Amino acid sequence: MAFFQDLGWRVLRLIEELGRMAFFSGGILRALVTRPIRLRRFIAEIYDLGVLSLVIICVCGATVGMVLGLQGYNTLVRFGAEESLGAVVGLSLIRELGPVLTALLATGRAGSATAAEIGTMVATEQLDGLRMMSINPVHLVITPKALAMTAVMPLLTALFIVCGLGGGYVVGVVLMGIDPGSYMSSLKAAVVFRDDVAGSLLKASVFGMLVGLISTYRGYTCAPTSAGVSAATTSTVVIASVSVLLFDYVITALWGV
Amino acid sequence: MGIFLDAGQSRGRFWSEVTQSAAPAGSAGRALVRVPVMTAGVTEAHVLFRNVQMAFGTRVVLRDFSCAFPRSKITCILGGSGAGKTTILRLIGGLVRPQSGTIDVAGTEISHLTESQLYPVRQKLGMMFQGGAMLNSLTIFDNLAFPLREHTRLTATEITKEVHATLAAVGLADVDTLLPGQLSGGMVKRAALARALLMKPEVLLCDEPFSGLDPISVKRIEALLRRINQQMGVTVLISSHHIPSTLRMADQVVLLHEQRAVIGAPNDLRNDPDPNIAEFFNEEVRDEDLHALAGSAA
């Protein structure tokens, strides 16, 4: 009996939390159409969340591409199909690894930083200070961050994929001696822009929205203590990572992207 | 619940007593709340609490709290940690909502207003938070200019002039380009006070303005608050632990003590027949403060 009570309580808590998150999302949507438009804040957030993530995205993208190239070559060479390495690396990166790994990396770097920053503002009463100046913190602080995360995720994903393709090319062509024309032509023949590239970027946008929403929500609703900020940061990484993987399956199952 | 004039009125106090008929479970006896009588033409309530109940989870902070904060006066809210001092200020700002009761701020009942409906009321308020609540990523100048940029149509030159004038008024100069983290505690508090004053509020809420400050900074902020009250007619509400400052500057004191609110002039409370209340004041009073008090009374 106690088990079912506990289960029921947890389900109710989950529904309540989802309801709060829906209200929070509504606040962000309302802020999007409220004047003044916070363009400067948005650009600053694009810099913080996007530009400052460039190095980690490039390094990880190139490394993943190189590993794919090596693993792909070792497998394909058994069947004498090493000329298809471009297609294997390209499709793996574009359809799956690019958006998912970029979202996980962005969660670890930018998502946790967003939750920590907003949480610190809560703990040091900065958001209350804004409210007392009749300034809506959701409009000024939250919306530019959530929107910037949604905007930068497809761009970071595209960069990750390009670096990955480069890494795969280096391993396949330079180290393993595959013909460069074969690598590129198999890549070009296998990848369909609308189904693969556009779908991948769409997926990345959904992940960006998820990470942006979860990180801002966790920061905004954290307990106003250092422990609360720490818990919000940790839970952002955990919840956003799990959500990205769950949504990845749902999107792939529903739309085949 | 009965309201009747306090016997102490014959001793010159303007109090009434509100005895709580619904005493809290587990509390010993009936809680006592003394509320200043608002006599027409004598004092006008700028902020008015009526039977406010406030709890965080199961912990009740304010129980049936009624109090009037007179216009253009300095009221100090005293009490131990967790007694509800800061909560009273946050209730006035609409940052937290009471479970029951009403709160009138400058003639507007705010307890049921939505966040957007609260904004016009908040434009009449200025709040100095305990930690300053300055935006860490902005310089002191930008922190102060921010509300002006948001709510006024002043030009950049006018904003600069206004900010510099306000900073000078609180005794801060040459801190424009510094970040809040680069200032001392006292300077942050003065910058926070300057920001609270920029929009020319009717009511200034100060949360622990003297905590963690050296005696010189305490005196400096105390003088600033007194000047703001006297020259601009701003109603000042201060939550504080600092008894000497309270005795020097308060027109009215609200003492939150053992789930009771006792309200009166500092001198009256210091001489209260209830030894617990008198003790609260006298414990920290030093000779110099008594002299200052005697001087101001004269």
In chain B, which residues touch A (CB < 8 A)?
90, 93-95, 115-116, 119-120, 122-123, 125-127, 129-131, 133-136, 146-147, 150-151, 195, 199
pLDDT score for A1: 77
**Maximum C-alpha span of chain B:** 62
DSSP category for residue B23: P
Nearest to B123 among A130, A134, A136 (CB): A134
pLDDT in tens, B176-219: 899 999 998 888 988 999 999 888 899 999 999 888 778 888 88
Residue B134 has pLDDT above 50, yes or no: yes
Per-residue pLDDT tens digits of chain A, which is 257 residues long: 788 899 999 999 999 999 999 999 999 999 998 888 889 999 999 999 999 999 999 999 999 999 999 999 999 888 888 888 999 999 999 999 999 999 999 999 999 999 999 999 999 999 999 999 999 999 999 999 999 999 999 999 999 999 999 999 999 999 988 889 989 999 999 988 888 999 999 999 999 999 999 999 999 999 999 999 999 999 999 999 999 999 999 999 888 77
Q: At residue A82, what is the residue type?
A: E
- A126 and B127 in contact by Cβ < 8 A? no
pLDDT score for B83: 84
Q: Which two tokens stand for residue B220?
A: 């400096």
Q: Which two tokens stand for residue A226?
A: 């250092």
- B147 and A133 in contact by Cβ < 8 A? yes
Residue-wise DSSP of B97-146: --SEEEEEETTEE-TT--HHHHHHHHTTEEEE-TT----TTS-HHHHHHH
Nearest to B127 among A120, A132, A136 (CB): A132
Contact B62, B92 (CB under 8 A): no
Contact B104, B81 (CB under 8 A): no
- B122 and A131 in contact by Cβ < 8 A? yes
Span of A105-119, B246-260, B280-294 with lowest mean pLDDT: B280-294
Nearest to A125 among B119, B131, B146 (CB): B131
Q: Cα separation of B171 and B215, whole Å? A: 16
Q: Which of B115, B118, B135, B189 to mutate to test the interface with A (most CBs of A within 10 A)?
A: B135
- B136 and A126 in contact by Cβ < 8 A? yes
- B122 and A124 in contact by Cβ < 8 A? no
pLDDT band at B285 (very low <50, low <70, confident <90, very high): low
pLDDT score for B218: 85
Question: What's phi and psi for A241, nearest 5 deg?
Answer: -65, -45
Q: How many CA atoms does the CB half-sphere of A70 hold within 13 Å?
A: 8
Q: How much is the pTM?
A: 0.81
Provide the shortest C-alpha distance from residue A155 to chain B (in Å): 26
Q: At residue A3, what is the residue type?
A: F
HEC secondary structure over chain A: CHHHHHHHHHHHHHHHHHHHHHHHHHHHHHHHCCCCCCHHHHHHHHHHHHHHHHHHHHHHHHHHHHHHHHHHHHHHHHHCCHHHHHHHHHHHHHHHHHHHHHHHHHHHHHHHHHHHHHHHHHHCCHHHHHHHCCCCHHHHHHHHHHHHHHHHHHHHHHHHHHHHHHHHHHHHHHHCCCCHHHHHHHHHHHCCHHHHHHHHHHHHHHHHHHHHHHHHHHHHCCCCCHHHHHHHHHHHHHHHHHHHHHHHHHHHHHHCC
- A125 and B129 in contact by Cβ < 8 A? yes
The gap from C-alpha A178 to its chain's centroid, in whole angstroms, comes to: 33
pLDDT in tens, B211-249: 877 888 888 888 889 988 998 889 999 998 888 888 888
Provide the shortest C-alpha distance from residue B132 to chain A (in Å): 8
- A132 and B95 in contact by Cβ < 8 A? yes
Average pLDDT, chain A: 93
Q: Cα separation of B71 and B58, whole Å? A: 34
- B95 and A131 in contact by Cβ < 8 A? yes
SS3 state of residue B191: helix
Cis peptide before A36 (omega within 30 of 0): yes
Q: Give B32's strand partners.
A: B19
Residues 6+ away with beta carbon under 8 Å from A145: A45, A49, A114, A118, A212, A215, A216
Q: Cα separation of B221 and B190, whole Å? A: 7
pLDDT score for B44: 82
Nearest to A134 among B90, B135, B151 (CB): B151
Ranges of H-type helices in chain B = 85-93, 115-122, 140-151, 156-169, 185-198, 215-232, 243-249, 266-270, 275-282, 287-297
- B125 and A125 in contact by Cβ < 8 A? no
Q: What residues of B are in contact with residue A47 (Cβ under 8 Å)?
A: none
pLDDT score for B295: 60
pLDDT in tens, A228-253: 999 999 999 999 999 999 999 999 98
Q: Which residue of B has its CA nearest to A134?
A: B119
Q: What residues of B are in contact with residue A129 (Cβ under 8 Å)?
A: 127, 129, 133-135
Span of B3-17, B106-120, B211-225 with lowest mean pLDDT: B3-17
The gap from C-alpha A235 to its chain's centroid, in whole angstroms, comes to: 15
Q: Cα separation of A88 and A180, whole Å? A: 15
Contact B125, A133 (CB under 8 A): no
Q: Which residue of A has its CA nearest to B192?
A: A129
